[in-house]
Structures are given as structure tokens and as C-alpha cells.
Amino acid sequence: MEAVKKHFFSDMGVMLGRSMRHIFRSMDTIITVTIMPIAMMLLFVYVLGGAIQTGTDNYVNYLLPGILLIAIASGISYTAYHLFMDMQSGIFDRFHSMPIARSAALWGHVLTSLVSNAISVVVIILVALIMGFRSSAGVLSWLAVAGMLALFTLALTWIAAIAGLSAKSVDGAVAFSYPIIFLPFISSAFVPTQSMRPVVRAFAENQPVTSIVGAIRALLSGQPVGNSIWIALAWCLGILVLACLFAMRTLQT
Amino acid sequence: MPNNSIHVKGLQKSYKKLHVLRGVDFEVERGSIFALLGSNGAGKTTIVKILTTLLKQDGGTAAVNGFDVALKPDYVRQSISLTGQFAAVDEILTGRENLIMIAKLRHIKNPRQVADDLLNRLGLADAADRRVSTYSGGMRRRLDIAMSLAGKPQLIFLDEPTAGLDPEGRIEVWKVVKELADGGTTVFLTTQQLEEAEQLADQIAILHDGRIIAGGTLAELKKLFPPAKVEYVEKEPTLEEIFLAIVGEKGGK
């Protein structure tokens, strides 16, 4: 009905306000999401980093993109958690019995995920700066990095939405993110892929994280991005569209 | 406008092999309180979900305020509100924020004013700015009902509104329901407590084995029973009467 469409953006705004309040009233979610990657960064730089040959003299520079992806991959599990709780508590039933678009509540959660992940990414970059991260990137490159990370967040958040909407238990809603958190380890995020066994290397070089990490790393170090940025974009957009369609379908049934 | 608020004919619904509704027929008059009685698992909530457009029936028809629930769900949603079996309130928001959120989603002109009015009306003004997670069961239920009243819907569904409440909480909810009906709102409630139906309902229907096995006013239902005979019974106060008499001094807060 027209009225439902007409109010879509104001309804979504109300939903966004609601889930943003959830985030800011339980800052522990952002803190836990931020602390784990920072701890990992400290571990890799100060404990393991000495033994890793990346061909660069600044390992923090090499590591940071992968750490940011891990932070986002663990951050999105909160979207799944919040969605699952909304389904359980009956508040989604209330929304769905009101004349508002079903997807408005979902978009509220997705945009909240974008904001809260942006906060943890900024905090991690600040810590990395203290640890010696330096970038020669200009404003445009930084914008490209921000765009890339936002796209990655959106793509993963829609996967989280599917998990949150279809899970049978809280554990199920959250557990889907573990393999995603693990993906950066089998990529060029921590060590160059040349050092890996052939089968692992073939996987590592052709999975999305390697191209995304490669593109962000090139952007931050002011080097030509080459093909990696287009492959990275294609991965993110592809996952985003597919996951979004599936999530919407899960919501309608 | 049709004279019936709800018109249900031959309603069928199965969950996999479980045939929950086997042809349910009933009508609810505009402005009345209708109680659907049945034991656990009889299918009361299934009927509520179909009438509130959350679930699609397998067979039969259901119309709410003249609109078919399966064909015109958006029109149905304009004129109803649902208070589900589990209080559909947002624990992290305050009572006031919950009400403002719903008022905004109903696109009411002065959401704050509406929220204040409802808080006063349901005796929640003192707790308005506390987070709902600190509310008692009765307060939560009252907030839940208040959220359903925002926007003055013509028809309110209350799915086991007093389940899990203490006797005081139950009487508070009954009072609200009676006031609603006095104000011309149609109330559809489900309950497994016979006393609740007796106290509140103008029309009662008993759901058993997937069908309405008896329906009518309380007086009509009583006629189905063998005629009354006079017996001498010594009446002692029930525990509930004692409890209410003792705690009654606190006054209907």
C-alpha cells in the first residue's frame, strides 16, 4: 500500500534510532569487538612478527588491513544476535502486525552495524598509529579505503541477517561468524601467500579476503592498486546482493 | 462498514503433520469483548497470528474490519494492534521511549504527547524514564498494552494478556480491557482462565480439537448446562480473596 512505501525512510529512521540506542547503551559490545583485534595486532607485531618475512620493514602497515577485516567479521555477529533476540522477544511480531515495511526494521539493524563497525575500525586505526602504522595515502585513497570497508561490512552484515533471522538458538545465530573470522588467516593478511603450500596457497589467493586486503594495503601505501580493487569490489558487491536477497526472502516467509 | 469486526469461516492451518485448525468459524461484533477459550496448544495463538497477518492460513477465509487478511494485509494492519503472548517491549529502552517509538511508527502527530497520555492512563508515569528491564511483570504487561493503544486502533488483539501475572496485575489488566471496550474498541482476547472470560467477555468461544465447539454469551453458554439446582454450600473465602484483602491496603497501584 502507498502509505507503507511513503513512510519507509521515516520508519527506517525510527528503527535505526532504536538499535543505535541499543549499541550506545551497551558499549561493551563495541569494546569486545575492538579489543580482540587489537590484542591480535599486539601479538602479531610484538611476538610473532619478528619471524614473519613480508618484505616490508613496517609489519604494522602490512598487518592492519587484515586486522580491520577481522574486527568487522566479529562485529557483525552482534547484528545476528540482536536480530535473533528481536525475533524471539515478539517485538518483530508487533512491528510486522503494524502498517510498516517489514524491511524497515532490518535496515535499521544493518545501518547500525555500519556505524558501530566504523567506530571500532577508527579505534583500531588509532591504536595502530601508536604502534607505528604510517600511511602516505591521500584523502581520495582514504575515502576509497572507507568505501571498501563499508561495502565489506554491508556484505557481511547481510549474511549475519540471514543467520539472525533463520537461527533456532542464540548460539546458532552467533556461531556463523567464526569461519568468517578465520578467513583472513588463510589469506595474505598476515603472511605473504608465497610461503604457503600449493593447495592452501591456491585457496588463499582466490578467496575474497586476499583481494580486499591487497586493495586496502595498496591504497594505504600509495601504490598502484591494479586489478585487486576490482576483484575486491566484485566479491563484496556479489556477496552483498546475494545475501540481501536471501535475507529479504527469509524475512517474508 | 460491516457490523462485524472479525469474520472467520472454515479456517484451516497445519504445521507439517499437525492439523491445528480444522475449520474454525466465528464472528466478533464491533465494540465487544470476545474471548477465545482453549487449553494449551489448542491453536489460540495460531488464530491470533492469522488474524494479525503474521501467518497465512491453509484454507478458509478471515476478514478483519471488512478486509481479507490474506489479500489485504496492509489495510488490516492499519486498524489493528497486537499484544502478543510475550510482552513485546524493548528492554533496553525506557517505557517512554518504547511508546514514542511506536507512536512514531504509527505516524501520529505528537508522539511525545501520546506517550505521556498513555503513561498516565496505565499508571506508568513514575517509571516512564526507567529502562524496561527494571520493570515488574505487571508493569511490562501494562506498557505492552499501552504500546498497542497508541494510535487508537479499532481492534486490539490480546493473546493471553494475564498469563504469568500476579492477582493484582491481573485485575489491573482487566480494568484496562474494560475501559477499552467502554471506549468503543473491539477487544479480541485469548485465555485459558475461565474466570477471565467470565469477568470480561461479551462473547465467548471455546476452541477444542481445531474447531469452535461452543460459542455465545455467558448466559447462552450456561443454558447448555443442566438447569441449576439449589444446594447448601458453606462458602469460605478463597486464598485469592484473602490475598487481595490483605495486600489491598496498598491500593490499586
**pLDDT, averaged across chain A:** 88
Which residue on chain B is closest to A8 by alpha carbon? B105
pLDDT of residue A56: 73
* Residue-wise pLDDT tens digits, B194-220: 888 888 899 999 998 888 888 888 888
Which residue on chain A is closest to B156 by alpha carbon? A97
Question: Which of A2, A19, A27, A94 is the mutation pick for testing B, counting most B CBs within 10 A?
Answer: A94
**Higher local confidence (pLDDT), A201 or B235:** A201
Span A182-209, mean pLDDT? 86
* pLDDT bucket at B2, cuts 50 / 70 / 90: low
* Residue-wise pLDDT tens digits, B38-82: 888 888 999 999 999 998 999 999 999 989 999 988 889 988 999
Question: What are the residues whose beta carbons fall under 8 Å from the beta carbon of A37, sequence distance 6 or more?
Answer: A67, A68, A70, A71, A74, A120, A124
**Higher local confidence (pLDDT), B161 or B229:** B161
Chain A residues with CB inside 8 Å of B112's CB? none
Q: How many CB atoms lie within 10 A of CB B25?
A: 14
**Higher local confidence (pLDDT), A5 or B18:** B18
Taking every pair of C-alpha atoms in chain B, what is the biggest distance, in angstroms?
60
pLDDT of residue A179: 85
Q: In what order do the strands lie in the sheet with B18-29?
A: B18-29, B4-15, B59-64, B67-68
Chain A residues with CB inside 8 Å of B106's CB? 98
Which residue on chain B is closest to A96 by alpha carbon? B54
* Residue-wise pLDDT tens digits, A114-170: 999 999 999 999 999 999 888 888 888 999 999 999 999 999 999 999 999 988 888
Beta strands in A96-206 (DSSP E): none
Residue B253 has pLDDT above 60, yes or no: no
pLDDT of residue A53: 72
Distance CA B114, CA B112 (A): 5
Which residue on chain A is closest to B84 by alpha carbon? A90
pLDDT of residue B1: 52
Instruction: Measure Cα distances from A193 to A28, A184, A197, A202, B131 in Å.
Output: 35, 12, 9, 9, 51
Chain B residues with CB inside 8 Å of A78's CB? none
* pLDDT bucket at A101, cuts 50 / 70 / 90: confident
Question: Which of B85, B92, B157 is the mutation pick for testing A, counting most A CBs within 10 A?
Answer: B92
* Spatial CA neighbour of A111 closest among A241, A170, A23, A35: A23
B233 min Cα distance to partner chain A (Å): 45
Question: Which of A16, A98, A253 is the mutation pick for testing B, counting most B CBs within 10 A?
Answer: A98
ipTM tops the 0.90 cut: no
Interface check B82 vs A, CB under 8 A = yes
Q: Do A97 and B82 touch (CB under 8 A)?
A: yes
- Residue B29 pairs in a beta bridge with B4
Residue B252 has pLDDT above 50, yes or no: no
Sign of CA dihedral A169, A171, A174, A178: negative
pLDDT of residue A3: 61
Interface check B234 vs A, CB under 8 A = no
Residue B115 has pLDDT above 90, yes or no: yes
Q: Do B105 and A18 touch (CB under 8 A)?
A: no
Interface check B84 vs A, CB under 8 A = yes
Instruction: Measure Cα distances from B96 to A17, A86, B112, B140, B236 in Å.
Output: 14, 19, 8, 12, 44
* pLDDT bucket at A251, cuts 50 / 70 / 90: confident
Minimal Cβ distance to B92: which of A17, A22, A95: A22
A239-243: long-range pairs with CB below 8 Å, 24+: A239/A155, A239/A156, A239/A158, A239/A159, A239/A208, A240/A151, A240/A154, A240/A155, A240/A158, A243/A155, A243/A158, A243/A159, A243/A161, A243/A162
* Spatial CA neighbour of A176 closest among A190, A198, A191, A161: A161
Q: Do A25 and B147 touch (CB under 8 A)?
A: no
In terms of Cβ atoms closer than 10 Å to its own Cβ (0-12, 13-18, 19+), residue B213 is: exposed
Which residues of A fall below an 8 Å CB-CB distance to B? 1, 3-4, 7, 10-11, 14, 17-18, 21-22, 25-26, 89-91, 93-100
Which residue on chain B is closest to A253 by alpha carbon? B55
Instruction: Measure Cα distances from B166 to B121, B136, B138, B141 in Å.
Output: 20, 10, 8, 11
pLDDT of residue B171: 87
Residue linked to cell 490480546: B158
pLDDT of residue B232: 80
Looking at chain A, the whole-number percentage of residues with pLDDT higher than 70 is 98
Q: Do B92 and A91 touch (CB under 8 A)?
A: no
Minimal Cβ distance to A11: which of B90, B97, B105: B105
**pLDDT, averaged across chain B:** 87
Letter string b/e over residues A5-30, b meaning 16 or more CB atoms within 10 A of that residue's CB: eebeeebbbbbbbbbebbbeeeeebb
Give this prediction's pTM: 0.83
Query: Would you state the cell numbers that stand for residue A200, as one nine-digit string?
Result: 592452501
* Spatial CA neighbour of A191 closest among A2, A47, A51, A72: A51
Listed ranges A129-133, A148-152, B14-18, B161-165; the one with the highest mean pLDDT: A148-152
Structural domains in chain B, sorted by start? 4-227 (3.40.50.300)
Which residue on chain A is closest to B85 by alpha carbon? A90
